[in-house]
Amino acid sequence: MTRQPSSYVRISREVEEALLRSHPIVGLESTLIAHGFPHPLGLETAAASEEAVRAAGATPATVALLDGEIRVGLSEDELERVATAGARKVGPRDLAAALADEAVGATTVAGTIAVARLCGIHHVATGGIGGVHRGAELTFDISADLAELARTQVCLVCSGAKSLLDVSRTLEVLETLSVPVAGYGTSSLPLFYAAESPYELHARVDTPAQAATLCAIHWDIRRGGAVVIANPPPRDSALDADEVERMIARALADAAQASVRGPEVTPFVLARLHERSGGRTQTVNRDLIVANAGLAAEIAVAAAHSDRSRA
């Protein structure tokens, strides 16, 4: 048996066996289950993400808080609890308080990465990262995702930054923190719902093996820190960037008028986008989350093969 990384962490038998065998593992966040989609679509998306990980040859490790424990690898019943029990949104700052309260907690990207660091999991998938919010020079609203990426040795597969952010400043902060962002099959940063953007990237990979190699070299010379692999949303469901920007601007104005602030801004804006797009943003959101889970698994498998060939 592996040694539990903390008395507050319970690793499922499936994930524990994968750790023992150095089998590829992909960490998955759980806020999408409780806050990202209306029930039961969040639950269905989580199940599809786990299946995509397994289909690529890796083990899924969805993270959530239940009964005063951080659970790494969830059963169907535990996924259902996260979806229906009014789960708290839990980032790194909130882990201790949620554990002390024995609250049901759904981990954000940053919360999931923090737990992955505890457990020795080096591949994580999500929809889009948080970053510097528009108007942050006044509000100081900057996602904890960026700080966690700077300190954790993880390959994070996402569809770029959430479109409602100040993307240019988000990329500047990532550069300052020495976090490389590589496009997967693209030389520009995907914008969550949109496959392309005017934001050029300084690194590109076109195969899971190339992504695994980039991560291995970065970790060898930096001794830590994340690599972000920016995977465009599937083209069959991706939206036009200009259309998305117009909807976001309107939704942000609605949020300001309703005095919505802090962590409540993102779910508020996403709900407005789903409504005004006739559900198209919800479709691409689901599709990209599942696709990113599958790609993260392919990269984890390629990394494991590379490690075995060097051994």
- CATH code for the domain in which residue 274 is found: 3.40.1790.10
The residues carrying an active-site annotation are: 29, 162
**pLDDT at residue 53, rounded to an integer:** 98
User: Which range, of 177-181, 251-255, 267-271, averages the lowest pLDDT?
Assistant: 267-271
Residue 75: what pLDDT? 97
The per-residue pLDDT for range 65-88, each reduced to its tens digit, is 999 999 999 999 999 999 999 999
Q: What is the number of H-type helices and E-type strands within the chain?
A: 13, 11
Instruction: Determine the pLDDT at residue 311.
Output: 59
Question: How far apart, in whole angstroms, are the C-alpha atoms of residue 120 and residue 126?
Answer: 18
* pLDDT for 307: 81
Residue 162 lies in a domain: yes
The answer to whether position 4 is within a domain reads no
Residue 13 scores a pLDDT above 60: yes
Q: Identify the residue with better confidence: 307 or 146.
A: 146
- Of the pLDDT bands very low, low, confident and very high (cuts 50, 70, 90), residue 2 is low
Task: Please report whether residue 251 resides in a domain.
Answer: yes
pTM of the model: 0.94
Relative to beta strand 123-125, strand 25-28 is: parallel
The reported pLDDT for the residue numbered 263 is 72
The arithmetic mean of pLDDT across residues 227-248, rounded, is 94
Residue 228 contacts by C-beta under 8 Å, 6 or more apart in sequence? Answer: 129, 149, 156, 158, 174, 179, 180, 181, 182
Q: How does residue 266 score in pLDDT terms, banded at 50, 70 and 90?
A: confident
Q: Give yes or no for residue 204 having a pLDDT over 60.
A: yes
- How many structural domains are present in the chain? 1
Report the percent of the chain where pLDDT is more than 90.
85
Report pLDDT for 132: 96
Residue 1 lies in a domain: no
Question: Among the residues of the chain, which ranges form H helices?
Answer: 13-20, 31, 41-55, 76-84, 95-100, 109-119, 136-139, 144-151, 167-176, 208-222, 241-257, 265-276, 280-310
Residue 265 has pLDDT above 90, yes or no: no
Q: Is residue 3 part of a domain?
A: no
Does residue 107 contact residue 117 with C-beta atoms inside 8 Å?
A: no
Contact between residue 31 and residue 66 where contact means Cβ atoms under 8 Å apart: no
For the cut 60, the answer to whether the pLDDT of residue 211 exceeds it is yes
- How many residues make up the chain in this entry? 311
* Structural domain contains residue 136: yes
pLDDT in tens, 108-148: 999 999 999 999 999 999 999 999 998 999 889 999 999 99
Residue with tokens 């698994």: 297
pLDDT category of residue 3 using cuts at 50, 70 and 90:
low
| Over residues 177-183, mean pLDDT | 98
The pLDDT of residue 162 is 84
Question: Average pLDDT over the chain, rounded to whole?
Answer: 94
- Is residue 262 pLDDT above 80, yes or no? no
Q: Is residue 234 part of a domain?
A: yes
The answer to the question of residue 2 being in a domain is no
Domain range enclosing 135: 9-310
